[in-house]
Chains A and B, each alone.
Chain A
Amino acid sequence: MEKFTTRGFKILMVAVVVLIGAVIYGLSAGSSVFSNLFGIVSAPLLTAGTNMTEGAKEFIDLDGMSKEELKKLYVELSEENRKLREQLVDYYEVKEENASYEDILSVKDAMPDLQLTSASVVGRDPNDVFYDFTINRGYLSGISEGDAVITEMGVVGVIDEVYATSSRVRSILSEKTKIGASAKECGESGVIASDIQFANSGKVKLLYLTRDTQVQAGTIITTSGAGGVFPSDLLIGRVDSVERSNADSSFYAILTPYVDIKTVSDVFVVTDFEGKGDVQANLPEASPEAEDPAATAQKGNE
């Protein structure tokens, strides 16, 4: 048996050097040819896997029925299905498409200047502790790094890496994601942030609130537009409670995002909007007691 031979070690050393080179190249050049190649191969596989799972989930919902009952149900439904198929050739496809357009329309109605691209979540890595995920759209669909990711319910995250036909989304639960946010009803602003403890419970923090903050449980938090990554007035979440920071005299609010990041399956990528990239857009009033939220948001978004 060929074990621990000189030839084997030589091959290992060559492989190690090549891989270290690949890592360094990847770190300096961003998404590489390898990443794109893997993306092109694996994105359709992941999409197929996701579609199969959806089908299997519907099937598993039939639990609790005996084999005979299921068989009888199957025969009946097959017959019914045959008849219906004749009438409703592509009804479901059209309906699904229609629902998707309705979702886009609802967001577009609220934000007419948004350029949206719809995408599906096709990959969730077990090693990712902040619930980042992969979507089935890449730069061929006009997506670029730093684009905001939303649903009709609210903010989801930011595009972190873009390949040809897929992209990685850094979720709002990630410690690296910082979003300029405001509480419209009391005119206060801050920065949305998180850490692993908050991510585990599916919550985020609104930092840099002042001592006399009017933010309270139930307050709705939206994006402020500061930093030029997210359009303003997108829903983020609802405040659960307000706590005092241990580090300084400021306060922070704990909020539950409207979108369940751990289970979200369909998203929109905001490829363009009025004021995108404009760091000065919608800058909130600077608070004497807190760090400038716009600067922190921009820093985080970078």
Chain B
Amino acid sequence: MADRKKWMRYLLYAVELLLLFVLQETPGLLPFIMGAKPMLVLAAALTIAMVEECVPAMAFGIFAGLLADFGGGTPMGYHALVFAVLCFFLSGLCGTRIQIQLFTSVLMGLWSCAAAVLLDWLVLYVAQGYSLAAYALSSAYLPIYFYTLLTIPVCYGLQALIRRFFSRF
């Protein structure tokens, strides 16, 4: 029974990631703030990692990363790799060293989201040889970071709701 509930929960996470991916990619659906849109699949993968075990957290990180790779036209596996490692360590931290709740989820989001966005800037912008790297960081990547950070509490609330829903039965 417990196993069935666990798999149902995982299925719901997968559907959630897929829906957030559509929401994130659909033109004109999410409002732009300072010319940026949030990376919803990143926020969802990080918050799933905050409430799940290391291995499932990593698996959802890979799934979210593959979606991000497809949507962003980056080499298939790049985001999957970054999200997998981030989610694994985030999941390890939450629950052993940090008691996760709404406030601490934002704190955890602060560094993990920053790590993902900074890596994107380094790998997808600086390493590609584009000019005006500092300008790109301040005008494009930082707004994406802050906007994504804004969605962390919402995503955390969603994951907490899913977990609570399945723990009731």
Contacts and interface: CB of A to CB of B under 8 A. Distances in A.
Given A5-B54, A32-B76, A42-B67, A175 B130 contact: yes
Interface stretch (A8-16, A184-192, A292-300): A8-16
Nearest to B30: A126
Given A3-B92, A12-B85, A195-B132, A23 B78 contact: yes
Interface stretch (B2-10, B36-44, B101-109): B36-44
Interface stretch (A110-118, A127-135, A214-222): A127-135
B99 to A, nearest CB: 13
A127 B72 contact: yes
Given A4-B92, A49-B26, A50-B27, A127 B62 contact: no
Nearest to B136: A196
Nearest to B125: A129
A26 interface: yes
Interface residues of B, number: 55
Contacts of B84: 12, 15-16, 19
A53 B29 contact: yes
Interface string A6-41: 011001100110011111001100001011001100
Given A16-B85, A128-B73, A175-B130, A8 B54 contact: yes
Interface string B57-95: 010001000111111110111101100110010011001
Given A123-B26, A196-B139, A22 B80 contact: yes
Contact of A126 (B18, B75, B135, B144): B144
Contacts of A82: none
A20 B81 contact: yes
A125 B22 CA distance: 10
Interface of B: 18, 21-30, 35-39, 53-55, 58, 62, 66-73, 75-78, 80-81, 84-85, 88, 91-92, 95-96, 120, 124-125, 130-132, 135-136, 139-141, 144, 147
19 contacts: A3-B92, A8-B58, A8-B92, A16-B85, A20-B77, A21-B77, A23-B76, A23-B77, A26-B76, A42-B70, A49-B25, A127-B68, A128-B72, A129-B125, A129-B141, A134-B25, A134-B71, A196-B130, A197-B135
Given A16-B81, A20-B77, A21-B77, 14 more contacts: A3-B92, A12-B58, A16-B85, A35-B69, A35-B70, A38-B69, A42-B21, A50-B27, A124-B27, A129-B125, A175-B130, A195-B132, A196-B140, A200-B35
